[in-house]
Chain A
Amino acid sequence: MKNYFLIKNTVYLVILFLTIIFSGFIIEKSNLLNLNFNKVEEVFSLFFPLEYSKEFLFITIENTFITVSIATISILISTFISLPMSVFCSKNLSSSTIFKNKNKIKDLSRYFLKTNFLFLRSLPEIIVALLLVRILGLGVNAAILSIVITFTGFMTKVFIEIIDSSNSISSENLIRSGAGKFKVFFYTTLPLCSKEIISYIVFRWECAIRTSLILGIVGAGGLGQQMELALKMMDLNEVSTIVFVLIFLVYICDQISNLIRKVFV
């Protein structure tokens, strides 16, 4: 028996090793070997006197606020969409699973809704933004809408899991005595799992800030766009200032979300 496990694990290891080597070959036909390190040093020295003129710092701070507000608004909207949707999709709050009357139409419609959210979350947000920029034009609207579309998918999936894994005794009792879905949700389920829901929303807020930074590259405004423009103009000292602002921003957002988590959890 011990021998069997040893052979199995060795086979797994060999397969893993072979895939790594194989994929290494696919990725690059030896770009790694002719790296030019002289050039690296040269480029690195271009980054270094940091840019700190007054106008530049003012523009940077304004762009930072744009980034944060894009993230906040999109998280707000996607929370308002995904909470009711997760109530509709959850098994714990549905009367057809509790009474066991096998209402096939209700079950099918629930699965249909769930698979819709699977498609929403499986396209990366920047591709959605690329397509939406064609339709809505450049600007903040495309960024907000693309974050809302993808994050609604993620948040609905997780909220459904949270509601379904919570204690179902009280909600079942309420449904058996004839309460509606939303009443049950607000009176039993939300008090029970508000901690998890809030901490997940805060976590998603951090993710949304990172995403809205990225979305600047396709022209959606904010700090990312400023960085992309500076890179295109080869103003590398501006880029290094923006990178420091970015690190500071992410650090502050971490602290804020820790604070919110401490208050609510």
Chain B
Amino acid sequence: MYLNKLKIFTFVIIIIFSTTCFIFLETNLLEVFKYETVLSFLIFFKEFSNPNISNKFLSEVINASFETIMISFVSTILSSVFAFFIMIVSNTRNFFLISFLKFLTNFLRSIPDLLWGVILVIFFGLGPFTGTLALTLHTSGILGRLFVELLENQKIQNTLPNFKTNNGSFLRFFFYYIFPKIFPQMISYILYRWENNIRAASILGIIGAGGLGQLLFYRLSLFHYDEVSTILFFTLSMVILVDLLSSFLRSKYTGR
């Protein structure tokens, strides 16, 4: 029997919770299917149907999408380096250091990247640098937690004393024994984060942090829908390209 009393109880609680959510919000989701909404959908799609492909605009969009890819790439690399250091430092018996690292990663992780961007724009001004920094902070929180868990799951407390009696330091132990074991998993986490970061980088422009999002937000505010549809096409193709690239790299490094 795969349904016991506890599971049924949790199911009931989840159902009660979601119905209270429905009641709390007081919205009518069926408004989406009203006649006027469908009509405005159709008008919107008609305006989207002739994209602007003049040479000048295309070069602008390509520049912006390059910038977006670079933002996501740099922030992923930087944050994986930070997370690597967090992972190495986390191997202590010092209680305060461990709890501090836990608090740090939770703090960085729980503020979404766009809200990091909104806060950091006050400090560092507009521009792609702010976007890179925001993505780096959020991603290093997530990757740090994942890497620390990875190191904890290796159960090194059994093998480390053995190594230390043979005159090996922790770093040597790490790079010769642990690192080859966890390397494929680390690569796959980093690639997964890169896929997320390219999506995040393409929207960071909304708060003024450069890239394709800024272009999109300006054109959308000016109601130039023909240019918006070109930008959306580029965003879509960029994301799909990065997805394919990362799945190729993942299959190469992890054999999956």
Same complex:
yes
Footprint of B on A, CB under 8 Å?
16, 19-20, 23-24, 26-28, 31-32, 35, 39-40, 43-44, 65-66, 68-70, 72-73, 76, 118-119, 122-124, 126-127, 130-131, 134-136, 139-141, 144-145, 191, 194, 210-211, 213-214, 217-218, 224, 227-228, 231, 236, 239, 243, 246-247, 249-251, 260, 263-264
Contacts of B216 in A (CB 8 A): 127, 130
Contacts of B213 in A (CB 8 A): 127
- Tell whether, in the assembled complex, residue B10 and residue A260 are in contact, meaning their CB atoms are under 8 Å apart: yes
Footprint of A on B, CB under 8 Å?
2, 6-7, 10, 14, 17-18, 20-22, 24-25, 27, 29, 31-32, 37, 40-41, 44, 66-67, 70-71, 73-74, 77, 106-107, 109-115, 118-119, 122-125, 127-129, 132, 199-200, 202-203, 206-207, 210, 213, 216-217, 220, 232, 235-236, 239-240, 243
Out of B111, B132, B236, name the residue touching A122 (CB < 8 Å): B236
The complex places the Cα of A191 from the Cα of B128 at a distance, in Å, of 48
9 A-B contacts (beta carbon < 8 Å) = A69-B24, A70-B25, A127-B235, A135-B40, A213-B115, A246-B111, A246-B115, A250-B106, A263-B7
Smallest Cβ-Cβ distance to B72: which chain A residue: A23
Smallest Cβ-Cβ distance to B128: which chain A residue: A27
Contacts of A217 in B (CB 8 A): 114-115, 118, 206-207
Smallest Cβ-Cβ distance to A62: which chain B residue: B24
Q: How far is the CB of A201 from chain B (nearest CB, A)?
A: 10
The complex places the Cα of A131 from the Cα of B47 at a distance, in Å, of 13
- Tell whether, in the assembled complex, residue A136 and residue B118 are in contact, meaning their CB atoms are under 8 Å apart: no
Q: How far is the CB of B168 from chain A (nearest CB, A)?
A: 24
- Tell whether, in the assembled complex, residue A247 and residue B106 are in contact, meaning their CB atoms are under 8 Å apart: yes
Out of A19, A141, A247, name the residue touching B111 (CB < 8 Å): A247
- Tell whether, in the assembled complex, residue B203 and residue A124 are in contact, meaning their CB atoms are under 8 Å apart: yes
Rank and list the top 5 A-B pairs by shortest CB-CB distance, nearest first: A69-B21, A250-B110, A23-B70, A124-B199, A28-B129
- Tell whether, in the assembled complex, residue A73 and residue B18 are in contact, meaning their CB atoms are under 8 Å apart: yes
- Tell whether, in the assembled complex, residue B32 and residue A141 are in contact, meaning their CB atoms are under 8 Å apart: yes
- Tell whether, in the assembled complex, residue A23 and residue B74 are in contact, meaning their CB atoms are under 8 Å apart: yes
- Tell whether, in the assembled complex, residue A214 and residue B27 are in contact, meaning their CB atoms are under 8 Å apart: no
- Tell whether, in the assembled complex, residue A123 and residue B118 are in contact, meaning their CB atoms are under 8 Å apart: no
Contacts of A39 in B (CB 8 A): 123
Which residue among B22, B27, B113, B127 has the maximum number of chain A CB atoms within 10 Å of its CB? Answer: B27
- Tell whether, in the assembled complex, residue A28 and residue B25 are in contact, meaning their CB atoms are under 8 Å apart: no
- Tell whether, in the assembled complex, residue B21 and residue A31 are in contact, meaning their CB atoms are under 8 Å apart: no
Contacts of B123 in A (CB 8 A): 39-40, 43-44
Contacts of B114 in A (CB 8 A): 126, 214, 217
For the complex with contacts A122-B243, A124-B202, 15 further pairs of A-B residues with Cβ separation under 8 Å are A32-B129, A43-B122, A68-B21, A124-B239, A135-B41, A136-B37, A140-B25, A140-B27, A141-B27, A141-B29, A214-B112, A227-B118, A246-B111, A250-B110, A263-B6
The complex places the Cα of A183 from the Cα of B71 at a distance, in Å, of 48
Out of B44, B67, B207, name the residue touching A27 (CB < 8 Å): B67
Out of A16, A73, A144, A251, name the residue touching B106 (CB < 8 Å): A251
Contacts of A27 in B (CB 8 A): 67, 70-71, 74, 128-129, 132, 210
- Tell whether, in the assembled complex, residue B25 and residue A69 are in contact, meaning their CB atoms are under 8 Å apart: yes
With contact pairs A124-B200, A141-B29, A250-B109 given, residues A218 and B206 touching in the complex (Cβ less than 8 Å): yes
Q: How far is the CB of B120 from chain A (nearest CB, A)?
A: 10
Q: How far is the CB of A260 from chain B (nearest CB, A)?
A: 7
Smallest Cβ-Cβ distance to B198: which chain A residue: A124
Smallest Cβ-Cβ distance to A72: which chain B residue: B21
Q: How far is the CB of A250 from chain B (nearest CB, A)?
A: 4
Which residue among B20, B70, B125, B240 has the maximum number of chain A CB atoms within 10 Å of its CB? Answer: B70
The complex places the Cα of A123 from the Cα of B18 at a distance, in Å, of 27
- Tell whether, in the assembled complex, residue B206 and residue A135 are in contact, meaning their CB atoms are under 8 Å apart: no
The complex places the Cα of A194 from the Cα of B243 at a distance, in Å, of 27
The complex places the Cα of A210 from the Cα of B110 at a distance, in Å, of 8
Q: How far is the CB of B15 from chain A (nearest CB, A)?
A: 9
Q: How far is the CB of A43 from chain B (nearest CB, A)?
A: 6
- Tell whether, in the assembled complex, residue A141 and residue B206 are in contact, meaning their CB atoms are under 8 Å apart: no
Q: How far is the CB of A16 from chain B (nearest CB, A)?
A: 8
Smallest Cβ-Cβ distance to B223: which chain A residue: A134
- Tell whether, in the assembled complex, residue B74 and residue A73 are in contact, meaning their CB atoms are under 8 Å apart: no
Smallest Cβ-Cβ distance to B239: which chain A residue: A122
- Tell whether, in the assembled complex, residue A123 and residue B232 are in contact, meaning their CB atoms are under 8 Å apart: yes
Smallest Cβ-Cβ distance to B44: which chain A residue: A135
- Tell whether, in the assembled complex, residue B107 and residue A247 are in contact, meaning their CB atoms are under 8 Å apart: yes
Out of A35, A66, A210, name the residue touching B112 (CB < 8 Å): A210
Which residue among A27, A35, A228 has the maximum number of chain B CB atoms within 10 Å of its CB? Answer: A27
